[in-house]
Structure 1
Amino acid sequence: MKISIGNDHAGTDYKNAIVKLLEDKGIEVTNYGTNSNDSVDYPDFVHPVAKDVVANNVDFGILICGSANGVAMTANKYPEVRAGLCWTKEIVSLIRQHNNANILCIPARFTAIQQALEMVETFLNTDFEGGRHQKRVDKIPMSC
């Protein structure tokens, strides 16, 4: 499995803990995030992750910023991306089961690191249910 990860300054400690978790599981990680707590612009770290997901270079993406709203909004500009903002593992289960989310967005200022690690585990271990949800997922991309 391959994962792309990106973060801004609010998510550096979270990213480091998540990367360790993933690498300990033998998962290949591409790190596009900052390694500093100095202020940066989150879109600079979102676009490479979203592009990896769209190009099928990775299985999933993970994005982390303070509220996770900015990273989710940016990632969801890509028609093939379904980025879900989550603050509990129960919500993570639903974005995978019902929405076939391919990017997990974590709000560092509203979750604990341990909680984020549990959300990542849930994200990786939950399958899309398909069925009635597939027709809804098919309606997500905007057509003009």
Structure 2
Amino acid sequence: MKIVIGCDHGALELKKEVLKVLAEFKDIATEDVGTFDAESVDYPDIAEKVCGKITKGEADRGIVLCGTGIGISIAANKIKGIRAALCGDVFSARMSREHNDANVLAMGGRVTGFGPAGEIVRTWVTTEFSQGERHIRRIEKMMALENK
């Protein structure tokens, strides 16, 4: 699996920690699209970089990070084909994969501690979509909203 990751200046330290967690998995390749320093950047630009890799088939999933995770998750969900889930706990991370087949995880660097973030990421990358009929139906309905 390939995971692309990106953050704005408000989550640079969290991104470094998330990359350490992802390195624990030998079957996961990562690509970091920035930002790489504390200079202010606009989170929609980062969301576009991460999600573009997914929609072009260059990555399987993505992780986006900003100060709260809110702005970057909203931006990511504006991109056709993206199902970004803002997760601040392990249960939400698991459900975002099992029920919603989320292809992007969003978290906030100013609101999520390194320890909890690590557990969220571990859960999110190891949880598979349930393939349940009701979940497939609901995802199809969600994705159809992009065309309205």
Query: TM > 0.5 between the two?
Result: yes
Q: Deviations over 1:21-59 (max 9, x none)?
A: 223423221111212122211112111110111122111
Alignment of 1:1-144 (within 5 A): 1-26=1-26, 27-131=28-132, 132-141=134-143, 142=145, 143-144=147-148
CA distance in 2, matches of 1:128, 1:29: 21
| AA aligned opposite 2:41 | V
Equivalent residues, number: 144
Q: TM-score when scaled to structure 1?
A: 0.94
CA distance in 1, matches of 2:21, 2:92: 20
How far does residue 127 in structure 1 lie from its aligned partner after superposition?
1.0
Identity of aligned residues (%): 36
CA distance in 2, matches of 1:20, 1:136: 34
Q: TM-score when scaled to structure 2?
A: 0.92
RMSD: 1.2
How far does residue 79 in structure 1 lie from its aligned partner after superposition?
2.1
| AA aligned opposite 1:100 | D
Q: Which runs of 4+ in 1 moved over 6 A?
A: none
CA distance in 2, matches of 1:11, 1:115: 15
